[in-house]
Amino acid sequence: MSVDLAVRLGPLALRNPIATASGTFGYGLEFEGYVDLGGLGAISVKGLSRRPCHGNPPPRICEVDAGMLNAIGLQNIGIDTFLGERLPLLHAKGATVIANIWGDTEDEYVEVLERIGDDARVAAIELNVSCPNVVKGGMVFGNDPVALAALVKRCRVATKLPLVVKLSPNSGDIVAAARAAVDSGADILSLINTLVGLAIDLERREPKIGFTTGGLSGPAIRPIALRMVWEVRRALPNVPLFGMGGIETVENVLEFLVAGATAVQVGTANFRDPFVSGRLVKELAAWCDRHGVDRVADLVGTLKTRPRPEHTFAKA
């Protein structure tokens, strides 16, 4: 049996639902030799800004139970170097490229979009409005549906490319943020970015991360991410979603699809095992084959839930 792995997220068609998450896959090219870049569903590159950004002073990362904290601070080569030097190479490899972008202000987002223009080598734009690791840098948009709506509206006008908005799990009401983004023109939502965490170096009584807090990623956040995907899917069943958060195995991929994500992004797992994304593509096909699934798209949002019972009390 040959399994149809193709998925469609609104205007974005992917050869399979396994993408890699921004900030965990560099500009893709670093994984040559480990992963067939053209065989992945998509590659979301490290968050790009209008000028090269130095990021935060170290220490920037630390390990925590079942995951890590990071406060990279959005270090990146800048949109121009990306378009001039990396995109052509990625394109030559047949990679489906998602340009993850950010800015400190609406204008900065728009400026990045204008530089990209309608470059057909970019399959989609992903607005990072949810990086918890910079003093400015988008987080304000992620935590305030009004600011988010304004930003997405301006970006929607500034690009014709498929527009993905990546949501923050830190805002309390992920559905409100999702609605604001979609009502303002987002084609696709990505969820989730990292959760704000703290780890302490006890001997020094200092945070392990120079920025004090860092974003929690890895298996630790998977149940939260799955819940948010399910919640947004239930509230907005027609909005295509990228699900992510602690994906490591093909079972994890399938859990996200079943919860309502049309495709997934693999993040922190790339650090532990640089081969993981490529392997997941193969394993997904094999799983579907074994389970008699012809089209992986048929699995999306198939979670069966029951009405929630109210608790009952003993008779008085």
Partner 1 sequence: MPVNEELRVLKTLSYDATHYSLFVQAGSIGALTRPGHFAMLQAGDGLRPYLRRAFSIADVTTVAGVPALEFVVKVVGVGTAALAHFAEGTPLPVLGPLGVPFPIDDLGRDDRVALVAGGIGLAPLVLLSRVLAARGVTAELFYGGRNEKDVLKRADFERFLGAHRCAYATDDGSLGRKGLVTELLQRELSAGKTYKRLYACGPVPLFRALARIADEADLETSFALESEMACGFGVCLGCVVPARDGRFATVCKEGPCLPHTAIDWSRV
Ligand X SMILES: Cc1cc2nc3c(=O)[nH]c(=O)nc-3n(C[C@H](O)[C@H](O)[C@H](O)COP(=O)(O)O)c2cc1C
Q: Quick one: 203 exposed, middle or buried, by C-beta within 10 A (0-12, 13-18, 19+)?
A: exposed
Question: What token pair was written down for 126?
Answer: 């992903």
What secondary structure letter does DSSP report for 108?
Answer: H
Question: What token pair was written down for 122?
Answer: 């970019």
Minimal distance, residue 256 CB to ligand X, in Å = 10
Q: CB neighbours of 107 closer than 8 A, spacing ≥ 6?
A: none
Q: Is 185 helix (H, G, I), strand (E, B) or coil?
A: coil
Tokens 């602690």, residue? 246
Does position 84 interact with a second copy (CB under 8 A)? The reply is no
Q: Quick one: 26 exposed, middle or buried, by C-beta within 10 A (0-12, 13-18, 19+)?
A: middle
- Work out which of 1, 8, 13, 66 binds partner 1, going by CB under 8 A: 66
Residues 213-252, one symbol each (x = binds a second copy by CB under 8 A, - = not), give xx-x--xxxxxx-xx--x---------------x----x-
Of 269-288, which residues contact ligand X (CB under 6 A)?
269
Residue 43 or 288: the one with the smaller Cβ distance to a second copy is 288
Residue 20 or 159: the one with the smaller Cβ distance to partner 1 is 20
Residue 59 or 185: the one with the smaller Cβ distance to partner 1 is 59
Minimal distance, residue 245 CB to a second copy, in Å = 10
Does position 167 interact with ligand X (CB under 6 A)? The reply is no
Residue 121 or 199: the one with the smaller Cβ distance to a second copy is 199
Minimal distance, residue 196 CB to ligand X, in Å = 12
Residue 270, amino acid: N
Tokens 């109210």, residue? 310
Minimal distance, residue 230 CB to a second copy, in Å = 5
List b or e across 158-190, with b for residues whose CB sees 16 or more CB atoms inside 10 angstroms.
Answer: bbebbbbbbbbbbbeebeebbbbbbebbbbbbb
Residue 41 or 67: the one with the smaller Cβ distance to partner 1 is 67
Which of 51, 69, 12, 47 shows the shortest CA–CA distance to 128?
47
Does position 58 interact with partner 1 (CB under 8 A)? The reply is yes
Which of 107, 82, 102 shows the shortest CA–CA distance to 28?
82
Does position 77 interact with ligand X (CB under 6 A)? The reply is no
Selected range binding a second copy among 5-13, 14-22, 207-215, 276-284, rule: CB under 8 A:
207-215
Q: How far is CA 104 from CA 50, 108, 177, 199, in A?
A: 10, 6, 19, 26
CA dist 38 and 300 (Å) reads 23
Which of 248, 242, 245, 244 shows the shortest CA–CA distance to 276?
248
Minimal distance, residue 154 CB to ligand X, in Å = 19
131 is a catalytic site residue: yes
**Cβ–Cβ < 8 Å for 214, 61:** yes
Of 198-257, which residues contact partner 1 (CB under 8 A)?
218-219
Residue 161 or 189: the one with the smaller Cβ distance to a second copy is 189
- Work out which of 2, 65, 120, 306 binds partner 1, going by CB under 8 A: 65
Binding site for ligand X (CB under 6 A): 21-24, 46-47, 70, 72, 74, 100, 128, 131, 166, 193-194, 217-218, 221, 244-247, 266-269
Active site residues: 131
Binding site for partner 1 (CB under 8 A): 23-26, 30-31, 33-34, 46, 54-55, 57-63, 65-68, 70, 72, 75, 218-219, 268, 270-275, 312, 314
